[in-house]
Amino acid sequence: MSGPQIILWVIALAVWALCIRRGMPQARRAVTETNRGFWRILPMFCVALPMAAFLSELVPADIATAWLGDDSGISGIMIASLAGGIMPGGPFVTFPLVITFSKAGAGVAQMTALLTAWSVYALHRILTWEYPVLGWRFVAMRLASSFFLPVLAGLIMQALLPFFAINLAAP
């Protein structure tokens, strides 16, 4: 286990200990929910991880450099924002794909924009959850107040990058 994983376990067990103090039923319910969540996510993992691995075998090494590379600047950030916005699937799909794109030459600022857009626009989530649950007025209001965030995040990351050594393809 890596450092962050150990920290995560310590925090999780500490909060669970608080549950035990609150009462055994709560603590037991937390474990039951953990178990249920794990089995719900497991099928996703079993198809998403091979998918990302196959895709990273298929994508030629420098295909993303011209469109999404470090030198693609704001146009690359905008392309990445669009791509992130229509990318379907949960984090088990997106993060392996970001590694794949990075291996193919995509820049860090561009991948920041892509991840932000995937979170902010999330077309598939709007169609399956946000619109049915909260209505189109809410969707319109939320998009109107957040549509510029992916490009903004990409630009801030680009401005900060010279001060940090970050390599997404081999973390």
Of residues 94 through 133, those in contact with another protein by CB under 8 A are 94-96, 98-99, 108, 112, 115-116, 119-120, 122, 124-125, 128-130, 133
Q: Which pair of structure tokens corresponds to residue 50? A: 């091979």
Examine residue 140 and tell whether it contacts another protein (CB under 8 A): yes
Angle between helices 108-120 and 91-103 (to 10 degrees): 160
Q: Which among 44-52, 62-70, 79-87 is the span making contact with another protein, rule CB under 8 A? A: 44-52
Closest CA to 68 of 83, 54, 58: 83
Examine residue 60 and tell whether it contacts another protein (CB under 8 A): no
Nearest 5°: CA angle at 104, between 115 and 171?
65
* 8 Å CB contact between 120 and 142: no
147 to 166, contacts with another protein by CB under 8 A?
A: 149, 152-153, 156-157, 160, 164-166
Beta carbon of residue 67, minimum distance to another protein (angstroms, whole number)? 20
62 to 81, contacts with another protein by CB under 8 A?
A: none
